Structure 1
């Protein structure tokens, strides 16, 4: 496999986690409220959990961008995404869908939880797991300027696809709720 895929995956995942962490920091009270609404933790531990979760998300984003620490960043990303996905799945299984997912755009009114969020996070978990492949699984080659252009273009395309999927999930959930009325 070409090493460029690892760079694109790490950069895309880092940007997604970084944007999520910064939004949670900016709107920490709203994020803490979303954590409480999941009803998975004792009320008095939600502030601590929220702070640790945001720190882990931010740490994963930074570590993914450092080649020597990428494995640690991928592990931390797997933990963060795994916890978030488990929280969504547990609430969906309980039938508790009118909860803001707490995964981005905290200022906007969230449409609620959906299995599409679990699927989206599954793809992100797969990308994080890809970063654990051993170095000998990749072609050893020098990167050139065309690779730089490919890296930036592909990373931007992956991010655009991620945000488009988020918008589609949000619209789908809102449409389903309108059908119920």
Structure 2
């Protein structure tokens, strides 16, 4: 059971990074602009840093997908997540919260918040679970296929829940506006 749970975690992290990379590559200009909005690095380094983040995320998505989890891969993952989290914290402290997080994929948010920091810390803790001893993995085993499908369902469910929440907030606002005209 632990083995399957760890496989699912690895797949979720892999899918998370794949979706982020696809978003950042397909919307390169927007991704660079989001990075610049943080105002933490010189603008002339934005494209290079965006490319570096894309390369690291691509590497980590492969690593988590094939469950090649030596300590240095988890350390790279934790370092990347800490960089992202510290960038968010600095901008929250500055009051610069009305910018997109730049996460891409299902994790994308249009403003920075403390809940994003909590989410990132939770993802860091979850990622360290992959260092658990005894993770035996066979790429095309029944367990790995079921784990992959479960991870896909969890990510889709999370993304759908976020969209549903955003749509419900919009519906509530629209109902209030309509109620004004009905009275």
TM bracket (short chain):
0.7 to 0.9
Unaligned runs of 5+ in 2: 172-183
Residue 86 (1) aligns with residue 82 (2)? no
**How many aligned positions are there?**
169
Per-residue CA distance 1:44-74 (angstroms, 9 max, x = gap): 211111111111011111111223x323443
Larger radius of gyration: 2
Q: Distance between the aligned counterparts of 2:137 and 2:59, measured in 1?
A: 29
Alignment RMSD (CA, Å): 3.3
Unaligned runs of 5+ in 1: 176-181
TM-score where L is the length of structure 1: 0.77
Aligned 1:15-164 pairs, distance under 5 A: 15-67=15-67, 69-71=68-70, 72-104=72-104, 111-135=110-134, 145=142, 147=143, 150-164=146-160
Pair 1:81–1:23, CA change in 2 (3 A) = same
Q: Which moved more, 1:31-40 or 1:161-170?
A: 161-170
Pair 1:168–1:36, CA change in 2 (3 A) = farther
Contact 2:14 2:61 (8 Å CA) reproduced = yes
TM-score where L is the length of structure 2: 0.76
Pair 1:42–1:114, CA change in 2 (3 A) = same
